[in-house]
Amino acid sequence: MNGTRESSAELAASICSSAPFRCDVVVIPPVIYMQKVSGLLKGESVLMGAQNVNSYEQGAYTGEISAPMIREFGCSYCLVGHSERRMLFGESNETTVAKIETLLKYQIQPILCVGETIKQRNSGHTVQVVSDQLRSVLDFFSPSDLANALIAYEPVWAIGTGETASPRVAGEVHGSIREIIRGKDQNLADSMRILYGGSVNPSNAYSLMSEVDIDGALVGGASLSSIDFIKICNLAGEN
C-alpha cells in the first residue's frame, strides 16, 4: 500500500525504459493504479500482476476485487497467500486454494507465497510450515493446473525488516520446496520457478539468485526505487 498515481506511473515508465531485460519482469502496483500502469508497459517486455484477488467472480463483496476485474487491465499474474494477507487478514490455506482456482479459470498465473515466522524458524519448524502451506495447494490441483504457477518463499522475519536469509539458508529451503513438489510430480518440480522474497536488494540479489534452486526474486521495498529494481532485474539476467 505505497505510492501515488504519479509515482507509480514514474516507476513503470522508468522500468520500461530499461526493457527488454534478460529475465521475466512483472510489476505489481496497487489495483487502483493498474489502468495507468498498464498503459505504460511495453507489450511482453514488462508484465503486470495484482497484489490480491477475491475468490468470488462477482457479488455482494463490497470493497473486493475479482479475477475478471484485474484481467480486464491485462493482469498476467497475482500474488496469493502473501504473509501479510495470512498474518494481518487471517487468510488460510483454504482461502489461498480458492483464490488460485479462480485465477486459473481466468488464465492468470498465481504466485503462491509461503514462509515461516521467526518463532517457527527458531523452533525448527520452517520446513513443516512451508510444507503445510504448499501441500494444501499441491493436493488440490493437478500438475497440469500448476504448470504456469510460481512459488515465492518469503520468510516472514525477513520482510520489510532489512534482515535477509543468507543465500545458503534460502537455498536450502528452496531445495526443500522443490523436493516437496517432486513428491507430487517430477516434471512440475523441474519446471517450477521458485522465487525468494525478503529484503532483496541490489547488494544481495546476485548471491541469492546464484543458488541452484532460487529462480528469481519477489522484490519488496527495493521495488519502490526504479534504480534498485532495474539493478536487481539486470543481476537476475546474469544467472
Cβ of 140: how many Cβ atoms within 10 Å?
16
> Of all helices (H) and strands (E), which one includes residue 127?
helix 126-138
- Do 88 and 78 meet the contact criterion of CB atoms below 8 Å apart? no
Strand partners, 196: 153, 217
Residue appearing with cell numbers 462477482: 58
154 in active site: yes
Residue appearing with cell numbers 499441491: 138
- Tell me which of 82, 91, 116, 211 is the catalytic residue: 82
- Tell me which of 91, 116, 154, 211 is the catalytic residue: 154
- Residue (of 61, 46, 127, 131) closest to 99 by Cα position: 61
179 in active site: no
> Which SS3 state, helix, strand or coil, does residue 124 take?
coil
Cβ of 166: how many Cβ atoms within 10 Å?
12
Q: Which residues are catalytic?
A: 82, 154
